[in-house]
Amino acid sequence: MSRRVAVYGAGSWGTAFSLVLADAGCDVTLWARRADLVNAINRTHDP
């Protein structure tokens, strides 16, 4: 069963929590407030 999860906040805690969820097999969407942070994450991480 696939689980879809959204994490609001892409600071250190939100990013770490997202990685734990992804490693557990969840389909994670990470939400961030700052566009520059979103662009940096999208450039360096696989979807």
Q: What is the mean pLDDT of each run of 10 residues along the chain (47 residues)?
A: 90 92 93 91 79
pLDDT at 38: 87
| Total number of domains constituting the chain | 1
State pTM to two decimals: 0.76
What pLDDT, on the 0 to 100 scale, is given for residue 45? 75
pLDDT of residue 7: 96
Range of the structural domain that residue 10 is part of:
4-44
Answer yes or no: are the C-beta atoms of 13 and 30 closer than 8 Å.
no
Q: What is the pLDDT of residue 20?
A: 95
pLDDT of residue 13: 95
| CA angle (44, 1, 10) in 5-degree steps | 30
